[in-house]
């Protein structure tokens, strides 16, 4: 989104434009359902959350509704999308902000960051990934999804809004050494021909459910700071020592 002209309009063809959750495509919503389930499982019930490149705000609304203890901030580079978010998806515990990337997120303050289908839109994708991860506090968790080059090849399926798609191993290598992928999922969305061409015919809902440890057309990664798990291990070790 930095070095060449981009279409930020609401109806560019790259955004969900539904004014209610019932109008949002299921493959988009189910990523936030997965995030909500894992956030609850991690006992993160309060604090600050960001949805980076939030579009028209449906994901912010979903998270702020399901996890009412969180304060969720949605950021997007489309003024029209942010206007729609404010008109349709506002709650007491969420906020929307218009920001063009590059922008800076505050470091080590967030309990949750979601960044779905965004890295491929940014020329300096590593910088955006660092921004997302460095904003996490010690117990925070990030959810990042990217299109999978191995199954949804950009070479075979050119896309005017995408700089790249990602092989699974390529994305894993992009994660900074002080962070780790704790879970990952594959998600399928469209029917493809035998030679890897997207037909843009949507799959049935049950076929869009993210699958753990199995590559899909889109891969979803759950990422935390390494020191978080290290601190927990150290605490448990001290407790065990005291009980001996």
Q: What is the pLDDT of residues 63-113, one digit of tens each?
A: 999 999 999 999 999 999 999 999 999 999 999 999 999 999 999 999 999
Quote the percentage of the chain above a pLDDT of 90.
86
Structure confidence at residue 1 as a pLDDT band (50, 70, 90): very low
State the pLDDT at residue 244.
60
Half-sphere exposure of 83 (CA within 13 A, CB side): 6
Tokens 């891969």 locate to 219
pLDDT value for 13: 74
Q: Quick check: 27 and 201 in contact, CB under 8 A? A: no
Q: What is the mean pLDDT of the chain?
A: 92
Q: In the prediction, which pLDDT does 15 show?
A: 85
Higher pLDDT, 14 or 179: 179
pLDDT at 121 over 70: yes
What is the pLDDT confidence band of residue 242, given thresholds at 50, 70 and 90?
A: low
Average pLDDT of the residues in 132-145: 97
Q: Residue 10: its pLDDT value, please? A: 80
CB atoms within 10 A of CB 227: 12
Mean pLDDT of 182-198: 98
Compute CA 137 distance to the chain's CA centroid, rounded to the nearest angstrom: 17
Confidence of residue 114 (pLDDT cuts 50, 70, 90): very high
Q: How far, in Å, CA of 90 to CA of 64, rounded?
A: 9
Order of strands, sheet of 47-52, starting from the edge strand that comes earlier in the sequence: 94-98, 70-76, 47-52, 110-116, 136-147, 218-225, 179-187, 211-212
How far is Cα of residue 157 from the mean position of the Cα atoms in its chain? 22
Closest CA to 29 of 67, 57, 70: 57
Residue 19 has pLDDT above 70, yes or no: yes
When pLDDT is cut at 50, 70 and 90, the band that residue 237 belongs to is low
Q: Which domains does the chain have, with CATH numbers?
A: 21-243 (3.40.50.150)
Q: Which residues pair with 74 in a beta bridge?
A: 51, 96
Q: Is the pLDDT of residue 193 over 60?
A: yes
Q: Give the model's confidence band at 226: pLDDT under 50 very low, under 70 low, under 90 confident, else very high.
A: very high
Mean pLDDT computed over 36-54: 96
For the cut 80, the answer to whether the pLDDT of residue 34 exceeds it is yes
pLDDT band at 239 (very low <50, low <70, confident <90, very high): low
Backbone angles phi, psi at 27, to 5 degrees: -60, -30
Mean pLDDT of 159-179: 97
Cα–Cα distance between 60 and 48 in angstroms, integer?
Answer: 12
**Residue range 186-195: mean pLDDT, rounded:** 98
């Amino acid at each position: 989104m930095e070095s060449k002209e981009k279409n930020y309009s609401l109806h560019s063809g790259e955004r969900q434009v539904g004014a209610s959750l019932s109008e949002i495509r299921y493959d988009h919503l189910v990523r936030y359902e997965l995030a909500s389930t894992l956030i609850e499982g991690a006992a993160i019930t309060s604090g600050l959350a960001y949805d980076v490149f939030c579009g028209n705000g449906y994901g912010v609304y979903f998270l702020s509704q399901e996890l009412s203890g969180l304060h969720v901030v949605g950021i997007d580079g489309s003024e029209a999308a942010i206007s729609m978010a404010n008109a349709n998806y506002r709650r007491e515990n969420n906020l929307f902000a218009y920001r063009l990337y590059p922008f800076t997120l505050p470091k080590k303050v967030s309990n949750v960051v979601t960044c779905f289908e965004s890295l491929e839109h940014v020329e300096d994708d590593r910088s955006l990934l660092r921004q997302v991860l460095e904003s996490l506090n010690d117990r925070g968790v990030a959810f990042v999804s990217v299109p999978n080059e191995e199954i949804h090849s950009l070479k075979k399926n050119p896309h005017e809004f995408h700089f790249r798609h990602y092989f699974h191993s390529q994305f894993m290598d992009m994660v900074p050494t002080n962070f780790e992928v704790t879970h990952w999922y594959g998600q399928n969305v469209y029917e493809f021909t035998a030679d890897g061409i997207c037909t843009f015919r949507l799959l049935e809902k049950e076929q869009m459910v993210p699958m753990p440890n199995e590559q899909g057309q889109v891969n979803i990664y759950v990422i935390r700071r390494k020191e978080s798990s290290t601190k927990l291990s150290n605490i448990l070790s001290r407790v065990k020592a005291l009980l001996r």
